[in-house]
Structure 1
């Protein structure tokens, strides 16, 4: 089993229900166990040009998992879950019902056309770092360092979203 960090985001449809359903779907993957999930945070959409206040706001969270699957197979499962929630890939960085990213997979570093680990922009994204700190205050990004020391950890670009816990504990 390898520890992995999964970032979740949604800015279309019932955003909270999308995140809740994604956590349940992650935990249902054979060989994957969700061990923790952050609270939900809200943020403006981010486009290649920067923050886009005209686009629907995102709800974001982070899940910690243990995976028997290699990262490429875990990515296949994340893409399957996204599709089940109506994710359409028409525009890079476009609005979406569900976005699931592998942020880190143990201490693995890789750079392929399909998957770069750790996620190449996670360290600068408050909507990833702030919820990640909630579930692992001592977390490190391989090659970057402690996430608590990053500028994104104290950003005002995300704000709390009042919701019940996404994950209460192991279901199997």
Structure 2
């Protein structure tokens, strides 16, 4: 079984319901089980800032699916929950990013692991540190907690427990 760490975000409509629905759908994927879910965190939009605040959380799942199979399932979940890709970093009902898979480094056209921006984003590392603080980033060689300690966390506010 492989260890998958995911970041989920939503900033359109009932954000919490979209995230809870996505976690439930991930738990129903074949040969997959959820091991941990972080608290919800509210953050201002990143990259394209003229949009509503996001709710974010992270998920630790284990799965016998290949990385590409896992990605296909998470993209289907996004689509089923109303994700439409209109603009890069634009508003969305749901975004599921694969952050880490075991100690793998993957660079394929549709899947880059570790996620290329995760170490720059407190809204990713804060919830990830809640469920995986000791996990080592396979490229940076540092724990998630250590990587988080190097970022400013203002604007990343714990919204509520999952």
SS of corresponding position for 2:86: coil
| Partner residue in 1 for 2:121 | 125
Assess if the C-alpha contact under 8 Å between 2:132 and 2:144 holds in 1.
no
| Partner residue in 1 for 2:111 | 115
- What displacement does 1:128 show? 0.8
| Partner residue in 1 for 2:63 | 67
The size of the alignment, in residue pairs, is 159
SS of corresponding position for 2:104: coil
Gaps of 5+ in 2: none
> CA offsets per residue over residues 65-119 of structure 1, 9 Å max, x none?
0011011111100100000110001111111000001100000101111111111
SS of corresponding position for 1:18: helix
> CA offsets per residue over residues 114-136 of structure 1, 9 Å max, x none?
11111111111111100011112
SS of corresponding position for 1:30: coil
Q: Distance in 2 between matches of 1:9 and 1:132?
A: 13
Assess if the C-alpha contact under 8 Å between 1:123 and 1:141 holds in 2.
no
Q: Distance in 1 between matches of 2:27 and 2:13?
A: 22
Assess if the C-alpha contact under 8 Å between 1:45 and 1:57 holds in 2.
yes
TM-score norm. by structure 1 comes to: 0.89
RMSD, aligned CA: 1.1
Q: Distance in 1 between matches of 2:41 and 2:102?
A: 24
1:72-111 mapped onto 2 (5 Å cutoff): 72-111=68-107
TM-score norm. by structure 2 comes to: 0.94
